């Protein structure tokens, strides 16, 4: 994620020292915290991703079936996050506010139609819990960027879940970003 820590100090060395101290404390807490339970499932991510790409009419699809994208999304904390919404504005701009969740055996085209009817937009991200994540775009670069932003959000959610809890943007915050002129411009630039 490109959103980071903000500290202040009397000089650059003070800022570096404070940043290192805060980062070190977070790393120590994470090392001591229990892992978040996940669950893998059977499924063919390549086939799911291609069906998602075709159903959206997108030019490209990118996938991630690594442990985070696969196992975390299949566990309780991962599944809870999938319905919670985005964490940061970049996620809305590059990966969309919500992911299409595809349960085992789901008809991708029908699930996409239901999602689009409910949300008013087509999803950029599809998650097959316990299998992996797919992202679509008008180019390979767009799909890859969307995937990276979404998986970064999963990293934050997993680690925050280990330390306490996660707070996604609420509806008011999310809608503000979705309709904000500056973010609309960023989205237009990202899609060109």
The model's pLDDT over 129-182, given as tens digits with 9 standing for 90+, comes to 999 999 999 999 999 999 999 999 999 999 988 888 889 999 999 988 888 876
23 CB-near residues (< 8 Å, 6+ apart): 5
For the chain, the 3-state helix, strand and coil shares in percent, each to the nearest 5, are 55, 10, 35
* Least confidently predicted of 37-46, 90-99, 105-114, 125-134: 37-46
pLDDT > 90? residue 40: no
Domain layout of the chain by residue ranges = 1-32, 45-190
8 Å CB contact between 186 and 93:
yes
Closest C-alpha among 46, 82, 42, 88 to residue 64: 46
Q: Is 28 exposed, middle or buried (0-12, 13-18, 19+ CB in 10 A)?
A: exposed
Predicted pLDDT at 97: 94
pLDDT band at 1 (very low <50, low <70, confident <90, very high): very low
Rounded Cα–Cα distance for residues 49 and 43 (Å)? 11
Per the listing, tokens 């442990």 go with 67
The CATH class that applies to domain 45-190 reads alpha beta
């Amino acid at each position: 994620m490109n959103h980071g820590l903000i500290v202040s100090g009397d000089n650059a060395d003070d800022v570096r020292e404070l940043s290192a101290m805060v980062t070190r404390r977070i790393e120590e807490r994470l090392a001591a915290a229990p892992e978040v339970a996940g669950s893998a499932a059977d499924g063919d991510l390549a086939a799911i991703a291609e069906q998602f790409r075709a159903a959206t009419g997108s030019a490209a699809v990118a996938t991630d079936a690594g442990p985070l994208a696969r196992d975390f999304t299949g566990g309780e904390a991962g599944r809870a996050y999938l319905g919670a919404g985005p964490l940061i504005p970049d996620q809305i701009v590059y990966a969309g506010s919500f992911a299409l969740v595809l349960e085992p055996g789901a008809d991708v085209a029908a699930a996409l139609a239901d999602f689009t009817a409910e949300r008013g937009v087509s999803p950029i991200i599809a998650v097959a819990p316990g299998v992996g994540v797919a992202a679509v775009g008008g180019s390979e670069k767009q799909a890859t960027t969307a995937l990276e932003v979404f998986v970064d959000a999963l990293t934050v959610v997993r680690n925050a879940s280990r330390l306490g809890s996660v707070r996604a943007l609420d509806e008011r915050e999310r809608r503000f970003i979705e309709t904000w002129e500056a973010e609309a411009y960023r989205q237009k630039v990202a899609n060109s």
